[in-house]
Each structure stands twice: as structure tokens, then as C-alpha cells.
Amino acid sequence: MARSSGFLDTLLSSPSTERYRIGFSVLFLLGVWLSVGAFSQELPNNMLLMAAAVIGGYMAINIGANDVANNVGPAVGSGALGLGAAVLLAAVFEASGALIAGGDVVSTIKGGIIDPTTLEDPRAFVWLMTAALLAGALWLNLATWMGAPVSTTHSIVGGVLGAGIAAGGWAIADWAVMGKIVASWVISPALGGMLAALFLYSIKKTVLYQPNLIESARRFVPVLVALMAWAFGTYLMIKGVKKVIKVDFMQAALIGLAAAAVVYFAMRSLVGRKAAAMENTPHGVSELFTWPLIFAAALLSFAHGANDVANAIGPLAAINDAIQAGGGVVTAASIPLWVMMVGALGLAVGLMLFGPRLIKTVGTEITELDKTRAFCIALSAALTVILASQLGLPVSSTHIAIGGVFGVGFLREYLKRNYATQLHKIMDQHEPAEQERLRPFLEDFRNASVEEMERLLQQAKQDKQQVPLAKSERKRLKKIYREEMVKRSHLVKIAAAWIITVPASALMAAFLFFTLRGLFVS
């Protein structure tokens, strides 16, 4: 099993298979073109519907390639899942979420950012939505190629805004809604990062920094996993299965609480059985989060498929209804099964063919993740979405997850610098004659994890024979102060991609709208 999984990991991440990925994508889109053409022959403008379906499939492929990485990236980076297993798991649950729990009706004018009823030419609505869909897909394609995880929601929002302004002027836009979207660029990653860092610090203080890690794990790990079960149970009820069953927030929270109670007793029994053979180390405790992480990745993928598939098929559904109605403006569109299938299959195809690049960026290239840190990121993502939905904040799941990754990384940097500073102060109080005895200790300290540094620091406090640092050793210790556990280059690249997502997709959409209008009017 390990050998086949490794082969699949290599196959998915190998640059030499790029042409095959592109070929399979083209075959999928060709299948969409032929399938839609087969049942739409009697419709007026059926060629436009066929083209829109292909663009919707292309958008779904790019959502799968870019957005889904946030759900499984931390699990891959921590080692809970191999790349191949993560791709297969996410593909199945993304498609299942879209087909089982996708909404019957979606607002095709995302967030009410434009008023399409002000358009003078009813045909402009179809051109507008087609341009928005293609612009959003092109921008996601570019971002995926650059390895930058961006918001698919903001991509389609920018597309609708840009094409809408091109079609109806600046007055067509609701700038108050756009202001909220801009605010979410700060709110989403800040909330996700703060919650992830808070959870990680809590785990460190209650479990990883305790002398008896096994006993601490017995007490606190079941509580932490039960909290995750409550968050995901509530999240799935209010965001993931709204088509299957409708509940208010209190009902969803109670259902989540019942799930949390079951998980608590199950985890308490599991941790009790594992305690006898478990290492009394942070690594041993981290292994307890393996299965919770796998379930978190699956549930996040299901909920994402149920919600964000609308970014690909919402505009397509609007175009379908507008063509069915003879080209009129549609502000809300029902979604037929064939449209949902285009979105669901496109998500799975995009994830399997192009997702590994972004999965590696999120899971391994921003900061080092173990299962404990990845657990904190997944938990913060679910809780932040719940909190934001109740406050009416237009946050992005992409921004939340990435914010969680950075929050965990910056917390690790802070703790390691803090412990290094404490050691410096402690050692500075001793006589330089014992300098040689200090060197082995410093070597151990330099290579230690944050948790191990805590123990070494306690050892230094108790050993009165330790000596101060020589000048050369002070310089070496300062390198620890400045050690970066978060890659700043990724931070700059991702932040820049977030900022320009809406204007970039808007400019693309405006250009495409004028192109389409020129083609059809002439």
C-alpha cells in the first residue's frame, strides 16, 4: 500500500506528466461541449450555451486546482495523508458535496454587487455572465500556475463587477458590498490566523509543555477533538447540507454538540488504549491527531463542494435560464442536474490533475506543519466560517485557511525567539571560565524544537554551573532570534495575489465583455 501510494504521489507531482494533465482537461471539456450540444439542439443560441458550459467546466477545473488545496494541504504537510490519498479523498468528497448538498437556487449576481435590471440591452446579460465566468477561470488558472492560493469567490466577484461596469457603467455596482469584500481581505486571514495560533498555544500549554505528556493528552486531547467535532457538525448543518435539511443556527449547534459528545467518549477510549504504547514526547501526542485530521479534510472538502461549486455553475445556470427565457435578465437561477454535474466533475478533475502544486504550497512550503499544528488550522477554519456567517461578514475560506497556516508559523517564531532570549539572559549571569561546558548545551538548543527548548531552558535554570556566552556564541545565538519559520517570499506573493484578484479579474472580464459584444453585435 505504501508503495502504490508513493507511486501515485510521484505521478501526480511529476512535471513530465503536464501534457497528459492538459490533454485530460481538454477531453473533459470536449465531453461537456458534446453532451450539452446533444440535448440543446432545439434551443436558440445553443452554441452560446455550449460555449458557456465549457467555460463553466473550465472554471470548475480551476477551482478544484486552486481552492481545494486549503482543505487537504495541512493534512498532507503534516504527514497525516499522502498526496495521492489526499487528492482522491478530496475529489470524492468535493463531488459528493456538490451533488448531494449543492443549493437548488443560487444568486447569480454574487452578493448583489451589480443590479442587472438597469441594463438597456437584455442580451448584454448573457455576454456579461459569460465574460465574468471566463475571466474568473483565467485568473484562477494564472494564480494556480504561480502557486498562489487565491479566493475563487473573489475571482468571480471581480469578473461580475468588471463585466457589469463595462455593460452598464459605474452606477450598476453596489459599492457598499464591494467595501465589505475589500474588508474581508484583512478580516479573513486575521481571524483564521489568530484562532489557529490560540489553539496551538493552548495545546502547548496544556499538553506539550507538561512533564507528563501522556497524562495530559488523556485529559485534554479528547476535549480538543470533541470541540472540532462540534465545530464541523455545526458547520456542515448550516453550510454543507442546507439542500438536504434546513435548520437554524441553534438547531445546528445542538446537533454539533451531540456529535461532539459521541466523539469525546470515543476519543477518550482511544487515547486510553494508545497511552500504554505512546511515547512521552510531542511526536507521540501529535500522532493522536492523525484520524481527526483526515476526517477534517474530508468534511471541509464536502462543505466546500456544496458551497463553492456555485462559483463555477451559478453564472452558467444564469446563462442557461436566460437562453431558455429568450435572452432576458435573470437574477436567480435554478440549477438543473446537468449544470451541477459539470461543476462537480470539473472540481474533481481539476483537483486530481492540477491540485498537487497548491497542496504542496499550503502544506509544506509556507511553514513546517506537524499533525498538531494542522489540527489547529482545520479547527480555526471551521470556527471562523461559523463566526463570520453569523456576523454576516463576507469572508473567504481560502483566506481563512492560509491565515491559519501563517498564524501557526508566526507563533512558532515568537516562541522560539522568546525562549532563546530567556536562555541568553540566564547564561549571561555565569562566569566565562566555564565556556567549554556551554558548547554542547548550545548545540542541543540550536537543533531543538520549541517544545524541547522549553525543557532545555528549565534544565539551564536548575544547573548553576552553566556559563555565559562568548562573543562568537552570542552571534550564533542571535541567528536563532532571527530564524524564520514562515517563508516571507510566500507571504508577499500570496498577499499580492489576494489584493489584485478582484481588479485583475474585473479588467479581464471588461475586456472579454467588449470582445463578446463586438462579435455578436457585428
What does each of the 522 residues of the chain score in pLDDT, given as a tens digit?
A: 344 445 445 545 555 577 788 888 899 999 999 998 888 777 777 888 888 899 989 988 888 887 777 778 888 888 888 877 888 888 888 778 777 766 554 554 445 678 777 777 777 888 888 898 899 889 988 887 877 778 777 888 889 899 999 988 888 888 887 887 777 777 888 888 899 899 888 888 888 877 788 888 888 888 888 988 888 788 778 766 666 677 888 888 899 999 999 999 998 888 888 877 777 777 788 888 888 888 878 877 877 777 677 777 777 877 887 777 765 565 555 677 888 888 888 888 888 888 777 777 776 666 778 888 888 888 888 777 767 666 666 667 777 878 888 888 888 777 777 666 655 555 555 455 554 566 566 666 656 665 566 666 556 555 544 434 444 544 444 444 445 556 666 677 777 877 888 899 999 999 999 998 888 775
**Of the candidates 263, 279, 295, which is a domain's last residue?**
279
The b/e string for 158-176 (b: 16+ C-beta within 10 A; e otherwise) is bbbbbbbbbbbeeebbbee
Q: Nearest CA to 415 among 443, 451, 372?
A: 451
Is residue 170 domain-shared with residue 243, that is, in the same domain? no
At position 213, the amino acid (one-letter code) is L
Query: Does the model's pTM come out above 0.75?
Result: no
Is residue 300 domain-shared with residue 346, that is, in the same domain? yes
Is 7 within the bounds of a domain? no
- As a whole number of angstroms, the distance between CA 438 and CA 473 comes to 10
DSSP-assigned letters across all residues of 465-511? T--PPPHHHHHHHHHHHT--SS-HHHHHHHHHHHHHHHHHHHHHHHH
Is residue 128 domain-shared with residue 26, that is, in the same domain? yes
Q: Mapping DSSP to helix (H, G, I), strand (E, B) and coil, where does residue 334 land?
A: strand
Check residue 99 and give its pLDDT.
Answer: 74
The size of the chain, in residues, is 522
At position 100, the amino acid (one-letter code) is I
Query: CB of 168 within 8 A of CB of 513?
Result: no
Residue range of the domain that includes 259: 213-279
Three cell numbers written together for 401: 485557511
Check residue 264 and give its pLDDT.
Answer: 92
Is residue 159 domain-shared with residue 79, that is, in the same domain? yes
Q: Which residues contact 386 (CB under 8 A, 6 or more apart)?
A: 231, 234, 235, 238
At position 238, the amino acid (one-letter code) is I
Is 5 within the bounds of a domain? no
Classify residue 19 by burial, with Cβ atoms within 10 Å: 0-12, 13-18, 19+. exposed
Is 8 within the bounds of a domain? no
Is 339 within the bounds of a domain? yes
Is residue 231 domain-shared with residue 246, that is, in the same domain? yes
Q: Nearest CA to 407 among 376, 382, 385?
A: 376
Is residue 196 domain-shared with residue 229, that is, in the same domain? no
334 has which bridge partners? 105
- For residue 147, how many other CB atoms are within 10 A of its CB? 18
Helix, strand, coil % over all residues of the chain, rounded to 5:
80, 0, 20
**Of the candidates 246, 263, 279, which is a domain's last residue?**
279
Three cell numbers written together for 53: 458550459
Is residue 148 domain-shared with residue 41, that is, in the same domain? yes
What total number of domains does the chain contain? 3
Q: Which residues contact 519 (CB under 8 A, 6 or more apart)?
A: none
Query: CB of 125 within 8 A of CB of 510?
Result: no
Is residue 355 domain-shared with residue 472, that is, in the same domain? no
Is 491 within the bounds of a domain? no
H helix or E strand, kind and range, residue 106: strand 105-107
Is 2 within the bounds of a domain? no
**Of the candidates 279, 299, 331, which is a domain's last residue?**
279
Is residue 35 domain-shared with residue 151, that is, in the same domain? yes
Is 489 within the bounds of a domain? no
Is 412 within the bounds of a domain? no
Is residue 275 domain-shared with residue 290, that is, in the same domain? no
Is residue 513 domain-shared with residue 365, that is, in the same domain? yes
Rounded to whole angstroms, what are the CA distances from 364 to 27, 69, 79? 31, 12, 10
Is residue 63 domain-shared with residue 129, that is, in the same domain? yes
Q: Nearest CA to 307 among 249, 241, 389?
A: 241
Q: Mapping DSSP to helix (H, G, I), strand (E, B) and coil, where does residue 333 land?
A: strand
106 has which bridge partners? 333
Torsion of CA 427, 429, 432, 438, to 10 degrees: -20
- As a whole number of angstroms, the distance between CA 73 and CA 297 comes to 9
3-state SS string for 432-448: HHHHHHHHHHHHHHHCC
Three cell numbers written together for 398: 481560502
